[in-house]
Structure 1
Amino acid sequence: MIIAEVVTEVCVAFPALSALAEGFEVFVITDASGTFNAMTRDAAWERMSAAGAQLMSWFGAACELHRDWRNDVEGLGTLFSNHIPDYRNLINSYSTFQAK
């Protein structure tokens, strides 16, 4: 189960902990949720991690789900370049190299 919600210590933690208790494998997308301060965020992450949740970024989750770049370089690359300015430079370099 992949979870990202509005508030980390409530909207993410409650279903994550419940799913873990039911035997699900849980992936918490840490940079797709927020909260009021770093202390409550870190406490929620620690609680979920200790219960068995795997914490990861949206970029890591997308790459893991994509698995093989040979299937769709432009699709995922475009998604990343639209949301990560530094990644746009990588895609531009790749496109320039491919054009030569």
Structure 2
Amino acid sequence: MSWVMLFAAGLLEVVWAIAMKRSDGFSRLPETVVFVVAAVASVVLLSRALRDLPVGTGYAVWTGIGAVGAAIVGIAWLDESAAPLRVVSLALVACGIVGLALSSQSG
């Protein structure tokens, strides 16, 4: 269950990152509200997941999901660069997330 909470926390990190971008410096109320709710929920789920997971693994996976997810959303919907080096770099981060998760479960 801790991994499910951590994954959900990472997805919420994507939501709050995109909401923060769309809030235009917190000048748009609806996007700012989405940011605050998603950020709080993300941190709460992370803290619950860290009850059972190592902090280094949990935090790295959480930030990795958020970073890769936000970059993918940026590429897909916000017209951000999909340069080959950027895509390869995101794939490497994703591989690192999977590696951390697998090494945490086996050790």
| TM-score normalised by L of structure 1 | 0.29
Higher helix share: 2
- Which structure ranks higher in relative contact order (CA pairs < 8 Å, sequence separation ≥ 6)? 2
- Which has the larger Rg? 1
TM-score by length of 2: 0.28
